[in-house]
Amino acid sequence: MPWINIPKVEGNASRQAHTDLPAGTYERELGKEGFYGPSTQMYHRHPPTGWKTVEGPLRPHAFDTQKLVFSEDDPSEAALLFSNANIQIRLMKLESDMAHLVRNADGDDLIFMHQGAGDLYCDYGHLSFSEGDYLMLPRGTMWRLSVKKSVSALLIEATNDSYRLPEKGLVSNQAIFDPAILDIPKIDEVFLAQQNEVEWRVVVKKRNRLSTIVYPFNPLDAVGWHGTLMPVRLNWRDIRPLMSHRYHVPPSAHTTFATGRFVVCTFVPRPFESDPKALNVPFFHSNDDYDELIFYHAGQFFSRDHIYPGMMTLHPCGIVHGPHPKALLNAGQKRGTMTDEVAVMIDTRDALEISKQAEAIEWAGYVDSWK
């Protein structure tokens, strides 16, 4: 059924969202379906995040993943930080080659390489990886990583779901990144050379329980394949972000992968808005349909203060969020010509559970950082 979508204007308001705000006001967006549905822009006398205190489950969170303690060099034992019925988000560290294969029978895996370099070996062949790569592995893929440089990676499982490319509508299928840029594993000499008759273990995850299958040979023994289901590699440097010099585009414009119940977006360096009347910081928004989780990968995060690479923030749906006061003070000034940030945002339709391991690395003062 169609939304009721008759634009109305009341009181002292801008006629164009995110531009030409009434003097001395702060814009807040209320929306349906994240940034995909109908929305209204409110103009307030005070910053919507100018709270005195926040108590209860809607309190914003920040976490420092550099404080995690790792006991295993094993993706199947990686620290579970956040989850719901449709997603599991883990952080994995590897100092050396994986000693066995893994296989996720619960859903597609998306790996974002925060640090490190090496080689992926999987059913489909061999594919190198380095810092800033996404590796998307279809459900059921057997794989292992060979490490050339210590790995720190974000693992995002689409539980009982699959990763797809977002709808790009008017801007064409080649916008943001051309699917032709996606790299796939190759059955090359390196892959064929690792095939042997030595005993190999495969650790399989199904319904969050682990099983071990032992083979008297390396089961990555394919000699060829053809089809349309395969792992892919994408580096954030290959993303060409949508932007407007006259309008601050919403985060949904930066969607990289989509599933039925969450999206993965990538923020990469882009030009600042140059129109003198346009906002050049993210607008305050009351996103009441999605939890917003951001992993900060590299650079200076122009809308955040006291946040550095390797940290994560979680803004539960139901509470307004937006730029920090320091970013607001700079909103009318141009800080060079380009943003300098790389971050992965995960917007989930269902509330995320925070694990005990995540609670142990939380920065409790984050909620006060808007004061």
pLDDT in tens, 18-48: 889 999 999 999 988 888 788 899 999 999 9
Given this chain, do its domains 26-62+239-368 and 70-236 carry the same CATH topology?
Answer: yes
Quick one: pLDDT band at residue 177, thresholds 50, 70, 90? Answer: very high
Rounded distance, CA 184 to CA 179, Å? 11
Location of structure tokens 């790996």: 111
| Mean pLDDT, residues 145-170 | 96
In 3-state terms the chain splits into helix, strand, coil percentages (rounded to 5) of: 10, 40, 50
State yes or no: pLDDT of 325 exceeds 90: no
| Mean pLDDT, residues 201-216 | 96
**43-54 residue pLDDT tens:** 999 999 999 999
| Mean pLDDT, residues 2-18 | 84
So what's the pLDDT on residue 285? 87
Which residue numbers are catalytic?
Answer: 248
So what's the pLDDT on residue 330? 64
Rounded distance, CA 282 to CA 362, Å? 24
Closest by CA to 132, choosing from 256, 280, 292, is: 256
Q: Is 306 annotated as a binding residue?
A: no
Q: What is the CA radius of gyration of the chain?
A: 22
Rounded distance, CA 126 to CA 229, Å? 16
Running DSSP on this structure, what letter comes out for residue 164? Answer: B
State yes or no: pLDDT of 282 exceeds 90: no
Domain positions in the chain: 26-62+239-368, 70-236
The rounded Cα 294 to chain-centroid distance in angstroms is: 6
For domain 70-236, give the CATH superfamily: Jelly Rolls (2.60.120.10)
Running DSSP on this structure, what letter comes out for residue 23? Answer: T
DSSP strands (E only) in 106-254: 107-122, 125-130, 133-137, 142-159, 200-206, 209-215, 232-235
State yes or no: pLDDT of 261 exceeds 80: yes
CATH classification (class only), 26-62+239-368: mainly beta
Quick one: pLDDT band at residue 333, thresholds 50, 70, 90? Answer: low
Quick one: pLDDT band at residue 334, thresholds 50, 70, 90? Answer: low
Closest by CA to 316, choosing from 338, 298, 299, 294, is: 294
Three-state secondary-structure class, residue 14: coil
The H or E element spanning position 56 is none
Q: What percentage of the chain has pLDDT greater than the value 70?
A: 97
Quick one: pLDDT band at residue 300, thresholds 50, 70, 90? Answer: confident
Q: Is 285 annotated as a binding residue?
A: yes
So what's the pLDDT on residue 210? 95
pTM for the full predicted model: 0.94
Q: Is 297 annotated as a binding residue?
A: no
